[in-house]
Amino acid sequence: MTASRARRKQIELAAKVTGLRAEFAYWQEIGSATGELREYRTRILAITRPLALLLDRLAQAADDPVEDWVATESRIVGLHQIWDYFREKLTLRHLSFAREFLDLADDLAWSCYAPALAAAGPAAPVEPPLVHLARTGIPFALPRGWAFGNAVDPSGSGLRSDELREAVRELPVSVIGVPWLQLGHLPEAVVVAHEVGHLVLDDLGLADPLRAAVVNEFGGGNPQGAAARYWLSVLHEACADLYGVLALGPGYALALCDFAATRPGAATPAGYPPIPDRISLTADALTVLGLSDQAEAVRTRWQTEFADYPALKNTTRFTALMLNSPLDRLGGRTLASLFPTAEHHTAADRLARALLDHQPLPQATPDTLVAACALAFSRSPERYHAQQSPTIPARALKHFRAHRQRGPRAETPLPPATPQDQAEAIWHHLTRAANRPAPAAADAADAAANAENPRSEA
């Protein structure tokens, strides 16, 4: 006897739910204490646990009357969209040629993030940022819960991009995108430290007290004065550069000279200080951190290579204010006290020389290794990228692999009630999207055409 259409639909939807359950189990397995992706364990759990809680509800909904199947399928599509925001980033770890770079960049992000987290204490968010490769030309950080890109499904099923953004925001993992082109040039991985600086400011609530310090110092309490207005407008980007120096020392400053180099007179993007100011900020930070010789080397490079650029603002006062202000959110500590920058630089410098001279490499942490690559490239780009076997970047990655500390990066589990709360909030987003009236045929055709040619409206 042939099953009814209603029954076929029920069995089909149940199978789709089971498929997703098996997928979550797969990721939790490779993210287990001995799994291949054990470093990502808490992040995989923080994402999949709340989503998996929705599967029982969806399995029940699969038995609903056949008229409701469109809504159930829409919820399954929406759940895949939320999961896929993270899955596509985790899946990159399965690409053998990208794996070492991503693991190093991810460990680098954690080494930049962990000292601030430790100072902030147990109330701070605990999941490390997830680093991935992106099709952009510049790196970016998306704080916990900022979706990116156009996720509209041309069929109108599932979540629209604004709804996806809200739903992803319920999950506690932020992401850092680095351009694919950095796979070919490891020294630029220093930008991960800059992106972590943005996240530290947002996640730990440091931006507001630092803004207040600027208003006091430059405006005498008035945010409208010209100097206060200027520094407030560039504070986030300026602090991200300062954070890069705290975490990676002169390697960051020297890589920035190359990374940020554009034509003199090119427009400065909103929110950024002009290039000369950015370089000057990093030199000032090196001085504050007791690395005056290196600060001088950065200034000399700027004076010789950036002579055509417009005159600077004085960055010294701002830098000292940002790095030396005690912050309640860091238990009264200052940003300058978070990292032993000078000590790390000594290790990175030794490593850079060993890389360039093909000597045995001393033990290295992810941050000193990336800083060392930046220093080595800056000192001798030809030798750094010389065609030899093994190349210097290949040696650096192999060294990272040999000394990598295995295991989850953040051990603190989320409070038991949290996944239920997150699941409830996500169910609400899925239900709202499932109950949205289907688009008219003409609108659906337009959406499909735009999805195939996303620039058609630009």
In the complex, least distance from residue 156 CB atom to Zn ion, rounded to whole angstroms: 35
Q: Could you tell me the two tokens for 399?
A: 């060294």
Residue 328 per-residue DSSP state:
G
Stretch that binds Zn ion, among 24-32, 161-169, 235-243, 320-328 (CB under 5 A): 235-243
Do 109 and 131 meet the contact criterion of CB atoms below 8 Å apart? Answer: yes
Minimum CB separation from Zn ion for residue 195, in Å?
A: 7
Stretch that binds Zn ion, among 172-180, 234-242, 309-317, 320-328 (CB under 5 A): 234-242
Minimal distance, residue 409 CB to Zn ion, in Å: 22
Task: Give the range of 96-104, 146-154, 231-239, 243-251 binding Zn ion by CB under 5 A.
Answer: 231-239
Tell the residue number behind the tokens 């090196």, with chain if given: 286
Q: Which stretch binds Zn ion (CB under 5 A): 12-20, 230-238, 346-354, 367-375?
A: 230-238
Rounded Cα distance between 423 and 17, Å, is 16
Residue nearest to Zn ion (CB): 240
Q: Transcribe 89-122 into DSSP letters.
A: HHHGGG-HHHHHHHHHHHHHHHHHHHHHHHHH-T
- Given the complex with Zn ion, which of 100 and 237 has the nearer CB atom? 237
Question: Do 335 and 242 meet the contact criterion of CB atoms below 8 Å apart?
Answer: yes
Q: How far apart are CA 122 and CA 343, in angstroms?
A: 27
d(CA 319, CA 238): 9
Residue with Cβ nearer Zn ion (38 or 211): 211
Choose between 127 and 237: whose C-beta lies nearer to Zn ion: 237
* CA gap 307, 305 in Å, rounded: 6
Judged by CB, which is closer to Zn ion: 236, or 432?
A: 236
Rounded least distance, CB 136 to Zn ion, Å: 12
Question: Which residue lies nearer to Zn ion by CB, 93 or 132?
Answer: 132
Total residues binding Zn ion (CB under 5 A): 2
* Least distance CB 368 / Zn ion (angstroms): 23
Asked if residue 47 binds Zn ion (CB under 5 A), the reply is no
Piece of 104-112, 119-127, 236-244, 410-418 that binds Zn ion (CB under 5 A): 236-244
Tokens of 127: 């999941």
The H-or-E segment that residue 61 falls in is helix 41-61
Which residue, among 202, 199, 207, has the nearest Cα to 327 in the 3D structure? 207
Dist CA 364 CA 343 (whole Å): 13
Read off φ and ψ for residue 309, nearest 5 degrees.
-80, 155
Quote the least distance from Cβ 340 to Zn ion, whole Å: 24
Nearest approach, Cβ of residue 244 and Zn ion (Å): 9
* Among 130, 240, 255, 423, interactor with Zn ion by CB under 5 A: 240
**Binding stretches for Zn ion (CB under 5 A):** 237, 240
